[in-house]
Structure 1
Amino acid sequence: MDKSIKLAVLSVFMGLSCVATASTLPEDLEWISNMNEPLFASEQAKRGGTFRSFMASFPQTLRSVGPDANSGLRHYFMDGTPKLAARHPNTGKWIPQLAEAWAFGNDFKTVYFKLNTEAEWSDGEPITADDYLFMLKYYRSKDIIDPWYNDFFTNSIDTIVKYGDHTIAIIAQTAKSNDELMVMINLPSNGLQPRPEHFFKPDKDTNNDGIDDNFVRKYNFKSEPTAGAYFLDNVKKGKSVTFKHIGKDWWGYGNRYYQNRYNVDKIRLRVIRDNDIARKHFEKGDLDTFGLVLPQLWHDKSNSQPYQKGYIHKFWGYNQVAQGAGGIWINTAKPPLDNIDVRKGLTYATDFDGMIKNVLRGDYVRKPHGLGFGHGDYDRTDNKPPEFNPELAAQFFTKAGFEIIGPDGIRVNKQGLRLSFAVTYGFPIWSPRIAYLKEQAKLAGLELTLNLVDGSSAFKYILEKKHDLAFLNMGGGEIPAYWEYLHSKNVKPQTNNHANYSSPALDAKIDAFKSEFDVRKRYQISHTIQKMVTEAYIIVPGYMVPYTREAHWRWIQYPAPGMTKKTESIFYPVELGTFWIDVDIKKETKAAMKQGKVFEPVTVIDDAYKL
């Protein structure tokens, strides 16, 4: 770090390195903006209309951090809103969002950013360097009750330095390559985005950290200002939420990459707890789009009259999105799941491949590893999911002391404990999948019971570590997330260590992975971590879906081609947000339905990015 910057850094708030103001920037910086990458939105896009969709349950909170925030609508509040920069969804180069340009320091720790001087919060207040200084205090505060963010912003981020109102430097704790620094700073889930200090004025702050002592309760259902194109305009608790567009004067439209995106005026999400009921609402025209990823929906239930008459179109588009960790998470803190032989037996008694073939029509793909897929050289090339083998599973169960076969075929140990575990999951549509696993597990003398907990409540149940087994897939980034899922410091309620797993040897490798500068060495450490996780039998690798399948009324339009490499859902209104509503086509369709006029059925298969 430049000596003048070091002298300017002031340690505040309980001795933590935090924020600073510096007078001058280094003179030799090379600023990068990458403003000439190809556009991926359409000039044909039209503004207007209300996009009508649904959610299966009402969120536990409107906060983006703290208890229960890692589910529900957080993507609208944080993950899907502007970062300093973002990967171009096709070329992979960094393109500007809240920053106009960036430059790298010579220490491999520092990235300088020139902020967009036009950027504003949704309440009209300017976004400045001070909002980034406050961000660091916000995420380091114990009052937000979020250990992951406390750790990341304390142990991964050293400080933030202000150079005037619209220039900052973000300094990492450890040296990384320039690209890895940008990934760390701009990863959606890391939350390294400005926080509106003017909104979070504390009523009571006994520890003088700048955050309200009653933060969690005070902001549980308060909507904070956003940098994105949509703000939360209306909340009907338990029923619906409505997001409203800032308008044509949204600051982002001065950026060529944001033009012709976020085209609808409003986004209305209704609570419809049953997927079949939601589908009926969609086919009546009350919802604009409906997901068809489920095999039975695509193959069996998308051939009704509105499809046949061309009022509703079908779209199947492949992507190359990194797949997150998931499958069956084993709560290793609960006996007898703390016995590795029980976990080995459970792994080989879980027939994911049979489920994919017999329940999911062969449409899905098995994950090669419980920690996900699509991380490039971070992934082991020999990762292979365990095959269903009830005979081998029985051997491990016997070794663990479950030698006796009960009258119902389920194994029992000498103390009379049955080999029975509940599988917690959040959506009724998953029941047939888990029911298949249940029947197959009986072949090894294992009983799996189905524990359906509604929507976001299921994730809360899992976060609180109440589960035996959790049927759950997490989102993924281009660099594997190890600390949050595996480090012993994260073995506590309200964290993503869903396996409740603790290992000093694994902790050491994760710490080494976080601190290693040499990318090739990091790849090797990553391979070792993945091998250790495999050998610990804590996650049974599940399935992945490298595409999106959706139905939409013909008035919902999208660019040609519709997909980018990173499109997870073509009709998701935040993130890329390239679709639009054609009001004229909507009027035409409504009139045709009344008159009995029909159109040609339409099914689009976009396989440009099929692996």
Structure 2
Amino acid sequence: MKKVNILATAIAMSFGAGAAELPTNLKWETNTSDPVFASDEAKRGGTFRSFLTSFPLTYRTVGPDSNGAFRRYLLDYTPGLVDLHPNTDNWIPQIANEWAYGDDNKTVYFKLNPKAKWTDGEPITADDFVYKLTLMRSKDIVAPWYNNYYTKQIESVIKFDDHTIAIVSTEPKNKRSLMEATSLTPVPKHFYKPSKDENGDGVDDNFVKRFNYKAAPLPGPYYLASEKKGKSVTLKHVGEDWWGYENKYYQNRFNVDKVRFTVIRDVDLARQKFEKGELDTFALVRPTLWHDKSNGEAYQNGYIQKFWGFNARPQGAGGIWINTQHGKLADINIRKGIEYASDFEGLIEKLIRGDYSRKPHAMGFGHGDYDLKGSKAAPFDLDKAVEYFSKAGFDKIGTDGIRVNADGERLSFELTYLAKVNEQRMAYIQEQAKLAGLELRLKLVDGASGFKYVREKKHELAFFDMGTGPVPQYRGYFHSDNAGKPQTNSFTNFSTPELDVLIEQFRAEFDIDKKKQLSRDIQKIVQEASVLVPGYMAPFSRGGHWRWVKFPSNPMTKQTISAFDPVEISNFWIDTDVKKETEKMMKQGKTLEPIVVIDEQFKS
């Protein structure tokens, strides 16, 4: 067999010196035998009406302000080369029909679906994956994390022909980790053609500004079709001939023709509009909504139905992130005091009615052996909180009940939260903290602006959650390359030389058992550093939907975040005939029995 010199080939390809030669001994794989998770009863058509609490700060999926909630519709849920089946956890095809592993434990080869197209009709080819590396390495995108990752983790993307590529990791990995690292999403090279490229890196010198509100074509079934700045955004389906429908795992999904997001900044107002029939679904995850505010006339008459479905997906890092570069918060005694002064147990019992549960570790839950065993969040303990605050010098109580030190400084911090719906919960945490002499000054910075605020490290304390995959990630949160820098996910600004070493070893480790041990070692350090107070988790989807919104007999998968997200699993549909029937019944005053569906197939 003729060996391929990967690095030399990559250099040759980048300068057009010749075509790469595909190894002849590859064992190509695919997977078309796993069960489907949509329904052949699904109907195409209709407009799904939803809402956003803030207008997107950008349509870019990389660079400043790009990591907001709306990005999932433009990147996170769009097809990559392959994906994990949401129930079996096996690899299934997306843009790639087949794949093969190189014998160097660094390379994965992919055969692209020759029918795959961008939503503007242009073909998706090997060039779009080669250009991905060009774009992500460019300083013009102003995204240091991506620059670092695609330089230090991805060695090269090699084109053999228009529909055959290889993606090479910089380090050997086990098959699971290797596929996770190399299953890239493409970028449309034809769209990002630079108008000015003085540094010659193939990327527009004014990338951030030029593409800020210029929506790129997508590989999925929907594209951003229209907007009313500050008011609404509409996604449109490319139609029945979308290339993905040849894939069995995409059939009977993404069924609505349009998805219209209206900006409604007040969530309670959005709920009222939903109950008037102006929105098709509304999340009822919050206990007060599910138990108290979803029993009105439309529910009782059977026009709106309720759904509660459990998942089995990993829970991400979250709770109260402590910015260790803000003065007194560098003191671990202060941070430990904050941990013990945060009454999440009482919050869950009194405000959440026990529907949620406490995260056992700040880095989340549900990653199997990657998680630190026996980990348990610090309980609410006023004596412990006072003990640590006193060690930090705050051993006296001021006239207002807040602790002070010898210099007269008050034990006071700003607690930022990113959604108005959390106002009451943060007020509870605030009031309980006062019992330990800790003042928390609440600050709401809503929506996309709030996430930008914490990414720029302007917060002292901040309450929010992050997503996760099957394997936890640590570099963005705790590596020194990201600490202290804006537009990174180092929300705590905490790093140590020991952590840097462990994180690098974790990313490079080939042996699964050793990798899991490294993960537990990292989690132990993070826990002992008290830089993130574990919050709560809700492993389910819960909402109300008008009766014309239909779903399969098994509506949930293990990985479903929201049963009614139009782009995630998206196996629901709108029955326009039932919609007309319901509207007619409402006019005639006819009623139906109330319906509540609870899907417990994945309840732990």
Cα distance in 2, alignment partners of residues 610 and 531 from structure 1: 28
Select 2:134's aligned residue among 131, 137, 140. Answer: 137
Q: Structure 1 pair 333/209, CA: closer, same or farther in 2 (3 Å)?
A: same
Secondary structure of 1:604 counterpart: strand
Q: Which of residues 103, 107, 116 in structure 1 aligns to 2:104?
A: 107
Q: Deviation of residue 4 (structure 1)?
A: 2.5
- Alignment size in residue pairs: 603
Q: 2-side partners of 1:403 and 1:380: how far apart?
A: 34
Distance in 1 separating the partners of 2:172 and 2:357: 37
1:391 to 383, 389, 394: 383
Does residue 460 of the first structure (1) align with residue 457 of the second (2)? Answer: no
Q: Secondary structure at the match of 1:41?
A: coil
User: Is 2:510 the counterpart of 1:513?
Assistant: no
Q: Secondary structure at the match of 1:307?
A: helix
**How do residues 84-483 of structure 1 correspond to structure 2 at under 5 angstroms?**
84-186=81-183, 192-483=184-475
Whether the aligned pair in 2 keeps the contact of 1:397 and 1:403 (CA below 8 Å) is yes
* Structure 2 partner of 1:41: 38
Distance in 2 between the 1:284 and 1:201 partners?
Answer: 46
Tell me the amino acid that sits aligned with residue 472 of structure 1: F
1:521 partner SS: helix
Conserved? CA contact 2:169–2:182, under 8 Å: no
8 Å CA contact 2:20–2:158 kept in 1: the answer is: no
Q: Does 1:9 align with 2:21?
A: no
**Residues 101 and 12 from structure 1, CA distance in 2 versus in 1: closer, same or farther, beyond 3 angstroms?**
closer
Change (3 A) 1:495 1:18: farther
Give the superposition deviation at 1:148.
Answer: 1.5
C-alpha contact 2:27 2:100 (8 A) present in aligned 1: yes
**Contact 2:343 2:379 (C-alpha < 8 Å) held by counterparts:** yes
Residues 143-175 of structure 1 deviation map (CA, whole Å, 9 limit, x = unaligned)? 111111111111111111111110001110111
Indicate if the aligned counterparts of 2:3 and 2:23 stay in contact, CA closer than 8 A: no
1:543 partnered with 2:540:
no
Secondary structure of 1:238's aligned partner: coil
Residue number in structure 2 paired with 1:584: 577
Query: Which residue of the partner structure matches residue 74 of structure 1?
Result: 71
Task: Summarize the Cα distance change of 1:250–1:468 in structure 2 as closer, same or farther, 3 Å threshold.
Answer: same
1:257 Cα deviation (Å)? 1.1
Q: Distance in 2 between matches of 1:312 and 1:539?
A: 39
TM-score by length of 2: 0.98
Deviations 1:370-392 (A, max 9, x none): 11111111111111111111111
CA separation in 1, counterparts of 2:174 and 2:446? 43
Letter in 2 for 1:145: V
Change (3 A) 1:243 1:21: farther
Question: Does the CA-based 8 Å contact 1:67-1:146 persist in structure 2?
Answer: yes
Alignment-derived partner of residue 189 in structure 1? none
Whether 2:24 is the aligned partner of 1:27: answer yes
| Structure 1 residue 5: Cα displacement | 3.4
Q: Which amino acid aligns with 1:522?
A: K
In structure 1, stretches of 5+ residues that fail to align are: 187-191
- 1:505 CA displacement: 1.1
Contact conserved, 1:19 with 1:160, CA < 8 A, in 2? no
Would you say the 8 A contact 2:10–2:158 is kept in 1? no
Q: Quick check: 2:57–2:65 contact (8 Å CA) kept in 1?
A: yes
Contact 1:5/1:22, CA 8 A, preserved across alignment: no
Task: Name the SS of the counterpart of 1:114 in structure 2.
Answer: strand
- What stretches of structure 2 of length at least 5 have no aligned partner? none
CA displacement at 1:114 relative to structure 2: 0.3
Q: Does the residue aligned with 1:529 lie in a helix, a strand or coil? A: helix
> Is the CA contact (8 Å cut-off) linking 1:157 and 1:173 kept in structure 2?
yes
Q: Is 1:57 equivalent to 2:54 in the alignment?
A: yes
Query: Aligned equivalents of 2:94 and 2:7: distance in 1?
Result: 30
Letter in 1 for 2:515: R
Query: 2: CA distance between counterparts of 1:208 and 1:423?
Result: 45
Determine the C-alpha separation between the residues in 1 that align with 2:388 and 2:11. Answer: 54
User: Alpha-carbon deviations, 1:63-85, whole Å to 9, x = none?
Assistant: 11111111131101100100111
Could you tell me which amino acid in structure 2 is paired with residue 558 of structure 1?
A: F
Distance in 2, Cα, partners of 1:235 & 1:459: 22
Cα offset for 1:19? Answer: 10
RMSD: 1.5
Counterparts of 1:124 and 1:7 in 2: how far apart (Å)?
33
SS in 1 for 2:428: helix
Q: TM-score, normalised by structure 1?
A: 0.97
Q: In the alignment, is the contact (CA less than 8 A) between 1:343 and 1:538 conserved in 2?
A: yes
Q: 1:467 to 1:46 in 2, by over 3 A?
A: same
Match of residue 490 from structure 2: 497
- Name the CA shift for 1:178/1:21 in 2 (closer, same or farther; >3 Å): farther
SS of equivalent residue, structure 1 residue 336: helix
Letter in 2 for 1:570: A
- CA deviation digits over 1:468-525, x for unaligned, max 9? 0010100111111100011010010011000011211111111111111111111111
